[in-house]
Structure 1
């Protein structure tokens, strides 16, 4: 049985969404865990939506595909592969929508030693066929030695 070694990670999560002339940005800082299981690496952390909604977010990277999995008040599963279009699903207690991501860029570099790591994702996103704009997601990752 393979032993899973977790690293505590501090991260800054930034998102910019552009739809025509409208831009929306948000940013938060959180902590999470980075670990390897089999041939894939995982980053797991909590996201807060509004005052009361908490979502457990997992990013799974296999060297080619970045899979985003959200579980909690929002359920979401979406793959991102550079240069490809992928189909996923976004579910709340009220609705269930098909999602489509046309991914332009996926860069994943995990923290190594004292260096910072990053995840950079740029994609055009549709929910139930409706254009939600171009999304740019940047995570800055740093090993949290305080834990």
Structure 2
């Protein structure tokens, strides 16, 4: 992504979690900002978890590593590097757990003109040593 002003995007966020054959789907749409700072690209958007729970989510991309940063009612920091196991942290007002992600794939393609962008992430995830399954996350980005 070229260095430029913040770009406003519409985001379709889709997650599918496979827990040993039991599938859980989660989807929402939101608006966000896409911008470049230093040597990294950023996508920032708001997640509404419930009527009273909101999380500011930032995805940071340097061309190799994707870092997920969540701030608000849930705090989380997790990096994703293809083929590598990474440690992170997941915190709510009630708990603080260590997280581990083993990333199978990371694809980042920013929107260009009329072409939609995509962030596709597939990883095996565990919280506090407990397997939470294989997570398949796809964000479809469209400039406003």
Per the shorter chain, which TM-score range? over 0.9
Instruction: Return 5+ residue gaps in structure 1 as ranges.
Output: none
8 Å CA contact 1:117–1:140 kept in 2: the answer is: yes
Aligned length: 142
Aligned-partner Cα distance in 2 for 1:45–1:113: 20
8 Å CA contact 1:60–1:68 kept in 2: the answer is: yes
| Aligned-pair Cα RMSD in Å | 1.0
Cα shift at 1:21? 2.1
TM-score (norm 2): 0.96
User: After superposition, what is the alpha-carbon deviation per residue over 1:1-25, rounded to whole angstroms, capped at 9, x for unaligned?
Assistant: xx86100000100000000121100
8 Å CA contact 1:89–1:98 kept in 2: the answer is: yes
Kindly report structure 1 stretches of 4+ aligned residues shifted beyond 2 Å: none
Instruction: Return 5+ residue gaps in structure 2 as ranges.
Output: none
Counterpart residue number, 1:87: 87
Cα shift at 1:114? 1.4
Counterpart residue number, 2:98: 98
Counterpart residue number, 1:36: 36
DSSP-derived class of the 1:118 partner: strand
